[in-house]
Structure 1
Amino acid sequence: MRAMCGVAALGALISMPQLAIADEESNSVAAQQAINSSEPILSYETSYNLIAATQRYEQIVANGGWEEMTRGAYGLQKGDDRGHVRALRRRLIASGDLEDTGRLSSEFDDELDGALRRFQARHGLQITGILDQETYLTLNIPADVKLAQLRLNLERVNQVVGELSNRYILVNIPAASIEAVENGVVERRHTAIVGRIDRQTPILTSKVHQINFNPYWHVPKSIIRRDIIKYMNQDPNYLTDFRIKIYDANGDELDPRSVDWSTDEAVQYLFRQEPGGENSMGHVKINFHNPHAVYLHDTPQKSLFGQNRRFHSSGCVRVENVDELVSWLLRENETDWSLPAVDAAFDSGERLDVNLEKPVPIITTYITAWANREGVVSFRTDIYGFDEAGRVDFASAQ
């Protein structure tokens, strides 16, 4: 009997870490589900939701906001038991991420783990349940700053919501995300990589009119000047390794060794990267007319989609699971462009251009705060400084 009890006790000890992991995974799923509603970021309903959120945050500010987390809270996670846990509880209660039960335990339990993960999801952070540096800094943004964000973004939403069509793509730059919307419902969401601070993704409206499968990449002169020359000085084999060819004005191919890389001579030539796995546009390019020469595309650098701050491009937008977006865009074409058909086109490696029989509107915008009908409020960092500048009207930027 004792032996059996010992076996049972050992089994319980072994299963405890697995149960903890299961609870944490469940908390992450719940946090993600809280923000993944079917409502688009831009809609009349978003406007109503923002009004309600603004009123709630006005009350939070009137009540004194929330306390600042001290450095002692840094690194807190489930299982910790110390005084700083109480401060974290008070902070998450103030922002509505944790229910106020009147109990301020010093134990970092499953309930607090779920609340912190919810906070991370609402702010576009990696959902870890750990009070890491990004989470610590975000927790310490004052409530009045959040309130100002809500008011400013309500103006932005109201300005463009009347221009929305039944079917469109929305690229939200601060969130580095994409929504494919039809009849007021988000049918697809995609993680994206957008322009860095010094090479911003432009704010515009246009229509997606063409899909290029396995495209060439014609390197913009700005990238030749800023990047290619530097890379060639660092590694003379760079162009060869990445299958980028140089052509003169007559269309004749040049040997990279014939170019003086200590000068800007290279800018006068055409640089073209061959289709393939290492192509900077990956397997597909999504075209829409605009004066900035930007587009949506695939990428061979898939690991970047897992980062908190996805601002790495030179202005174009890289799309995770881009094959699914391409299939959605081509859905109105008579030819079958189901997901297997798109993937087959990718795998073939063959160059193919497909026009959309019904072009789809695309909007790139700058929304750093929004809310859904469940009252969940999402915020993003003011990466380009447009909030700080109080910028609402982007029409002049198109």
Structure 2
Amino acid sequence: MSFVRPLYVVAALVLLPVPFCPAAWATSIASRLAEDSAVIQIGEHPLEADLIREFYSERAFKPAWDGNSRQRGEHLLDQIRAIAPTEGLRAQSYTVPEAAGADDRDLLISETLARFARDLSIGRVTPSRQVGGMGTEIRAKIDSATVLRDLAAGRDLFATLIPVQPAYAGYHRLKVALSLYEKLTEAGGWTAIADGASIKPGMEDARLPAVRKRLMMTGELAANQAQGKTLDAPLVEAIKRFQARHGIDPDGAIGKQTLAALNVSAEERLRQVAANLERWRWMPRRLDGTHIAVNLPAAHFELVRDGHIDMAMRVVVGDVSHQTPTMATTMTSVVINPTWTVPPSIATREILPKLRKDPSYLASNNMRILDAFDTDFEKAQGLGIDWSRYSKFPYRLRQKPGADNALGQVKFNLDNGDDIYLHDTPKRQYFGHIFRALSHGCVRLERPVELAKMLVPTQSDKLEEWVKDDTTRTLKLDKPLTVYLMYMTAWADEDGTVHFREDLYGHDARLKTALKRRQHPQQPQVSQEPAKR
């Protein structure tokens, strides 16, 4: 049969009328791609034309998957549908309608392959801040024409995709976690544990057998601890391990927050992992050798040099009403003993009510009104003013340097239009909290002086002395330092331990909705390469 089929195809080509010869196919393809639209509708299937225009233009609009190549094209489609779920992508997003004619199917095969390479490389959703992204400008470029050229020439799919997919260890660890939660989901996941009063160590409760079964499924509890209605020592330790993985105070008790985390389904955790794989795809092809990364949901800071974490610390990030924006920016300088110009919103909402109750509030907090009362010292400190007359704070307000300054004694300037920076804080008690989304948007650092010494090493021996004298000094960095304010609610350690955090700002929820919506390319992404017509 394998010898008969080629002869049949040749005979058919000889007998077919002229409009179906390869030259006519090329004309049909050229006509399709000449449409001045980013999306071309083929039947009910929207095709992202900008992904394939350059590829077909290079080959004079001849089909890529005709004759003997058709079977290879179909095989490549089967391969990418098999690969997609392992990358947190939907296999059904890469199907091609069977009813498509030969010329349209050629276009659809190429577009589907190019779209998969694009989605794998830089993500399916545009990385806006609303979904926890840092903008399209930091994403890697994807050359769709080269990918298609290599595949059409017979290059192995995996060899073609390796250079374009994320190379980060964090991405590949999270892929292992995806596989784990996929298996848990396929096995039926776990049954929700009934609500009720908190269970403390040593207590008995009818729900504890279900808790034991739940913890065994994710590896916190050994199989030989499956029985028992008492929160005994082994179960307490298992609960503590679970709490540590989920950013919960590891007290070993099953309170409201722990119970809620236990009851998040395996399917929902799977979607959370897939969403965070998408965020890795939004990152540059590689990070700067020296950089700072702050994970906002984890309220965690790392200074990385040559791939090694030189410094890590807790941070305080913006609360839900004052969200810290995700961004990729640069640090340019360090300010010792900074002043703080109070934002108008804080002056109105927080300071004005305090002045109505205590007119000496500004004086006692080292603050001064700017510009309006240069020659009247008392009024510059807010004294003698009827604050009840104002519904909005009417002046500019600044806090002098000092230990009680809201920025603490060290500030790290970032290049951005959001007035966001890293800084010290006099409220040191916040770093002892597990939940640290407590600021007005800026990132507060647990060990700012130590960080300043590392970033300005030539001045490190003077920093301690400078911090004490209340004189404001600005120290320029030798070169700008890249800073990533990231939003990762799931990640995996080197040993495979998977961590989850709450969706602090709702970015996960919006991203999951967007990923579900983009099962087909109804709305094309921003083009990464200029179209060549």
TM-score band, normalised by shorter chain:
0.7 to 0.9
Select the structure with the greater relative contact order (CA < 8 A; seq sep ≥ 6).
1
Q: CA deviation at 1:213?
A: 0.9
Q: Does 1:140 align with 2:263?
A: yes
Larger Rg: 2
Identify which range, 50-59 or 351-360, moves more after superposition. Answer: 351-360
Name the CA shift for 1:360/1:202 in 2 (closer, same or farther; >3 Å): same
Partner of 1:162: 285
Q: Does 1:386 align with 2:510?
A: no
Name the CA shift for 1:260/1:126 in 2 (closer, same or farther; >3 Å): same
Structure 1 SS opposite 2:220: coil
Partner of 1:53: 177
What is the RMSD computed on CA atoms of the aligned residues?
2.6
Name the CA shift for 1:371/1:352 in 2 (closer, same or farther; >3 Å): same
Name the CA shift for 1:314/1:264 in 2 (closer, same or farther; >3 Å): farther
Identify which range, 383-392 or 274-283, moves more after superposition. Answer: 383-392
Match of 2:307 among 174, 184, 206: 184
Identify which range, 158-167 or 64-73, moves more after superposition. Answer: 64-73
Residues 73 and 85 in structure 1, CA contact (< 8 A), matched pair in contact too: no
Name the CA shift for 1:349/1:248 in 2 (closer, same or farther; >3 Å): closer
Structure 2 SS opposite 1:188: strand
Name the CA shift for 1:43/1:92 in 2 (closer, same or farther; >3 Å): farther
AA aligned to 1:46 is: G
TM-score normalised to structure 1 length: 0.80
2: distance between equivalents of 1:296 and 1:105? 49
Partner of 1:205: 328
Q: Does 1:70 align with 2:202?
A: no
1: distance between equivalents of 2:391 and 2:189? 57
Name the CA shift for 1:385/1:103 in 2 (closer, same or farther; >3 Å): closer
AA aligned to 2:510 is: A
AA aligned to 1:327 is: K
Residues 259 and 266 in structure 1, CA contact (< 8 A), matched pair in contact too: no
2: distance between equivalents of 1:106 and 1:265? 58
Structure 2 SS opposite 1:71: coil
Match of 2:234 among 84, 87, 111: 111
Partner of 1:343: 464
Name the CA shift for 1:75/1:329 in 2 (closer, same or farther; >3 Å): farther
TM-score normalised to structure 2 length: 0.61
AA aligned to 1:315 is: G
2: distance between equivalents of 1:336 and 1:243? 28
Structure 2 SS opposite 1:262: helix
Structure 2 SS opposite 1:389: helix
Deviation track 1:338-370 (CA, whole Å, cap 9, x = no partner) reads: 6xx543332333322211112211011111111
Deviation track 1:117-149 (CA, whole Å, cap 9, x = no partner) reads: 111111111221222332222222222221111
Deviation track 1:353-391 (CA, whole Å, cap 9, x = no partner) reads: 211112211011111111122111111111111111117
* Unpaired segments ≥5 residues, structure 2: 1-165, 516-524, 527-533
Residues 199 and 205 in structure 2, CA contact (< 8 A), matched pair in contact too: no
1: distance between equivalents of 2:474 and 2:331? 13
AA aligned to 2:191 is: E
Match of 1:256 among 382, 397, 414: 382
Name the CA shift for 1:107/1:287 in 2 (closer, same or farther; >3 Å): same
Q: CA deviation at 1:270?
A: 2.0
Percent of pairs identical after alignment?
34
Q: Does 1:195 align with 2:321?
A: no
Task: Tell me how many residue pairs correspond in the alignment.
Answer: 348
Match of 2:478 among 351, 357, 363: 357
Q: Does 1:292 align with 2:418?
A: yes
Structure 2 SS opposite 1:231: helix
2: distance between equivalents of 1:62 and 1:134? 26
Name the CA shift for 1:354/1:251 in 2 (closer, same or farther; >3 Å): farther
2: distance between equivalents of 1:288 and 1:251? 31
Q: CA deviation at 1:184?
A: 1.9
2: distance between equivalents of 1:87 and 1:265? 55
Partner of 1:220: 343
Name the CA shift for 1:359/1:173 in 2 (closer, same or farther; >3 Å): same
Structure 2 SS opposite 1:76: coil
1: distance between equivalents of 2:384 and 2:415? 35
Q: Does 1:172 align with 2:298?
A: no
1: distance between equivalents of 2:509 and 2:299? 19
Partner of 2:11: none
Partner of 1:34: none
Q: CA deviation at 1:82?
A: 4.5
Residues 288 and 482 in structure 2, CA contact (< 8 A), matched pair in contact too: yes
2: distance between equivalents of 1:265 and 1:324? 42
1: distance between equivalents of 2:447 and 2:188? 43
AA aligned to 1:345 is: W
AA aligned to 2:421 is: Y
Structure 2 SS opposite 1:381: coil
AA aligned to 2:416 is: N
Residues 260 and 266 in structure 1, CA contact (< 8 A), matched pair in contact too: no
Q: CA deviation at 1:330?
A: 2.1
Name the CA shift for 1:102/1:108 in 2 (closer, same or farther; >3 Å): closer
Residues 76 and 85 in structure 1, CA contact (< 8 A), matched pair in contact too: no
Q: Does 1:312 align with 2:438?
A: yes
Q: CA deviation at 1:280?
A: 0.6
1: distance between equivalents of 2:468 and 2:237? 41
Structure 2 SS opposite 1:275: coil
Residues 402 and 408 in structure 2, CA contact (< 8 A), matched pair in contact too: yes
Residues 44 and 161 in structure 1, CA contact (< 8 A), matched pair in contact too: no
Residues 207 and 359 in structure 1, CA contact (< 8 A), matched pair in contact too: yes
Partner of 2:492: 371
Partner of 1:8: none
Residues 197 and 255 in structure 2, CA contact (< 8 A), matched pair in contact too: no
Residues 194 and 316 in structure 1, CA contact (< 8 A), matched pair in contact too: yes
Name the CA shift for 1:289/1:325 in 2 (closer, same or farther; >3 Å): same
* Unpaired segments ≥5 residues, structure 1: 1-41
